Amino acid sequence: MKYVLLLSVAALAFPAVVSAEEADAEDGRTIIVTGKAVGYKAEDTATATKTDTPLLDVPQSVSVVTRARIEDQALRSMGDVLRYVPGTTVGQGEGNRDQITLRGQNTTADFFLDGVRDDVQYYRSLYNIERVEILKGPFALIFGRGGSGGIINRVQKAPTADALRASATGSVNTFGSWDLAADVNAPISSNAAFRVNAFYEDLDNHRDFFGGERYAINPYLAVDLGQWKLGLSYEYVKDDRVTDRGIPSVATIAGDPNRPVNGQRDRFVGTPGVNRAGLEAHIVKARLDGDLAENLKWSTTIVYGDYDKYYTNVFANGAATADSGTVVLSSYTDPTKRENFIAQTNLVWDFAFGAIGNKVLAGLEYGDQHSANQRRNGTLSSSTFNLANPVYPTVTFGALARDTVSDVQFFSAYAQDQISIGAHVDVVVGLRYDRFEIKGTDLIGTPRPFARTDEKVSPRIGLILKPQENISIYGSYSQSFLPRSGDQFLTMTASQANLAPEKFTNYEVGAKWDIRPDLGATIALFQLDRTNATTPDPNNVTATINVGETRTKGIELALTGRILPGLQTSAAYTYQDAKLKGNGFVRLAQVPEHQVALWNRYDFSPSFGLGLGVIHQSSQFAAIRTAANTTRLPGFTRVDAALYFKPSDRFDLQLNVENLFDETYFSDAHNNNNISTGAPINARLTARVKF
């Protein structure tokens, strides 16, 4: 049995997430606070600065997907969420994990839960999540290593002591996938509450042989002790699914990029019964914060995690000879175990010198992470696969091809000051010191030890001008770094050990306008430079290549909130130019130049509503383009729709239709020859009952 144990005492008093209906009804009995939102528009964040700060006063681009949007769009996964967030591109993750690209930087580890690092490779669910925050640009000051192009933070649903509430939700789609979920909030007293969330999902989609299940339960206790507030939650998670790495590419006219094979949308390239990924998790999370004095808050976080996960796959390891031709296969199995201990402590002090206000954050963080990873390559009964007449090979797995253990220890000290100079000027300035030490051993043959220690200082500075109370104009500069052991620190070659960490430097200017409390507009122009850059080798799935310096430049525009009394919208556009610095031919992987995401909900009456959404992405390269035959995924436009029926306050019904016009498209990729196909038109019917 595989277990995950996560113990955290949260570092911050996050502000409470409140629905649009509850926004005006707070009565002070929220115990664990996590951030306020009105419908689709979030008002503040504790993630970007580790302090409760209005989004208007944060000098960087932040996208927030609220619970209202999660429910309206029937979002089930991080991939669903991020497809509607321009500037982010969803990766395939080899069919076993969340993987994204932010501002040209690919990551499997820059995920957080309530601001706590959540870097194990798996698929994250939304059943117990109040909102998802996407922060753009390097953020080592707040989060330490990684965060190269940005980070994804999930905010957990928390108990409240205001009223007994319960809801049950069930849905089914036209592929046969279905799920059930429950959410119960029960006050224990005026200063204590208990909340439990649970769900079960039976997985299915348009792909041959795909299937699986996942389920979880998450009870959460919160107590107001007067000067201190304490929360304690336990979560059990089980995920077992088919590992699907999609279809291969095929060559086109000589000199042109390869393209995905045609006519194979549903074709499973693997071995049924062998391609499998699993995770079992036990998670405990505790959080504590309190007031040391009137303007001085102290908080501590302790995280312990024990993770055990595996995936096994047979996949295309080259381009197909033709659309209905043959393709070379490869296979391996890969189990990983990880044990984490992370502790941090923070002080937040609010004080003023005359007209100059200060919100000072000072913190320390210590971490110890132990990992063990193995890989066994498979021997196939047939090394080629016929796309027209498939015969699925059998597989036997041989001796260990990789067997490594590694220990990471890191220590961080950081300080930040949010300075308010009168009513019109704010300055955010901070520094973080990180000491990152990795020691490990390659156990294959004669044990080979590897080790490296890095000490880095990560600065951040932002200037905010507020010509009006509801308008801010900002500029910012920030840095992050990534050690040579990568974002999963499983191994390190001798040549990698002699290279400096990758460095990420972000320059950004922008403006934010709260048109009304429930409607906001933003614009951001950015440049992200990466030095000492590496990328996955498109010709070797287990290796990386050094590419030098890369640069991503772009612009982001967004409009979020209630436009009319019955109309809510989330609209965004991003332009990105991501390439090797000084060499425009080399383009970064999975970065479309143009992205548009639009979602609208219009309520004709309290009982009836309509939703309509559009996702557009221009073409993108599946892997970094270093040669003419790098695979290009064609651009696409997908239209989604929804109908809402609410006959009473206690019951509502909705029908979500994805890919309304049955567009043929390729949603994401892992490399040149592992390409995911977009689902055809499908519908999901959801019923929700509130008690």
Domain contains 27: no
- Whole-angstrom Cα distance, residue 476 to residue 507? 6
pTM (two decimals): 0.90
Domain contains 21: no
| Model confidence band, residue 540 (pLDDT cutoffs 50, 70, 90) | low
Q: Which domain holds residue 375?
A: 37-690
Domain contains 6: no
**For position 25, what pLDDT does the model report?**
38
Q: Compute the mean pLDDT over every residue in the chain, rounded to the nearest whole number.
A: 89
**The one-letter amino acid at 26:** E
**For position 352, what pLDDT does the model report?**
92
Number of structural domains in the chain:
1
**For position 303, what pLDDT does the model report?**
83
CA angle 467/472/477 to nearest 5° reads: 125
Q: Judge whether residue 413 has pLDDT over 60.
A: yes
| Model confidence band, residue 29 (pLDDT cutoffs 50, 70, 90) | low
**For position 60, what pLDDT does the model report?**
92
Q: Cβ distance 511 to 473 under 8 Å? A: yes
- Whole-angstrom Cα distance, residue 638 to residue 595? 12
Q: Judge whether residue 586 has pLDDT over 50.
A: yes
β-strand 53-54 against 44-45: which pairing, if any? antiparallel
Residue 174 sits at φ, ψ, to 5 deg, of -75, -10
- Whole-angstrom Cα distance, residue 254 to residue 261? 16
Q: What percent of the chain has pLDDT over 70?
A: 92
- Whole-angstrom Cα distance, residue 612 to residue 570? 11
Q: What is the mean pLDDT of residues 545-569?
A: 90
Tokens of 454: 């890095």
**For position 28, what pLDDT does the model report?**
46
**For position 498, what pLDDT does the model report?**
72
| Element containing residue 501 per DSSP (H, E) | none
Tokens of 172: 């089914």
Q: Which of 171-180, 258-267, 543-552 has the lowest average pLDDT?
A: 543-552
- For residues 593 and 256, the model is more confident at 593
Number of H helices, E strands in the chain: 4, 42
Domain contains 10: no
Q: Judge whether residue 544 has pLDDT over 60.
A: no
CA angle 628/631/635 to nearest 5° reads: 120
| Element containing residue 80 per DSSP (H, E) | helix 78-82
Domain contains 9: no
Domain contains 354: yes
Other CB atoms within 10 A of residue 649 CB: 9
- Whole-angstrom Cα distance, residue 140 to residue 674? 32
Domain contains 514: yes
N-to-C CA span, the chain: 36
- Whole-angstrom Cα distance, residue 646 to residue 639? 24
pLDDT tens-digit map of 381-396: 999 999 999 999 999 9
Other CB atoms within 10 A of residue 94 CB: 22
Residue 175 sits at φ, ψ, to 5 deg, of -85, -15
pLDDT tens-digit map of 593-648: 999 999 999 999 999 999 999 999 999 999 998 888 899 999 999 999 999 999 99
Domain contains 612: yes
CATH number (domain holding residue 536): 2.40.170.20
Tokens of 180: 């059930």
pLDDT tens-digit map of 436-466: 999 999 999 899 999 989 999 999 999 999 9
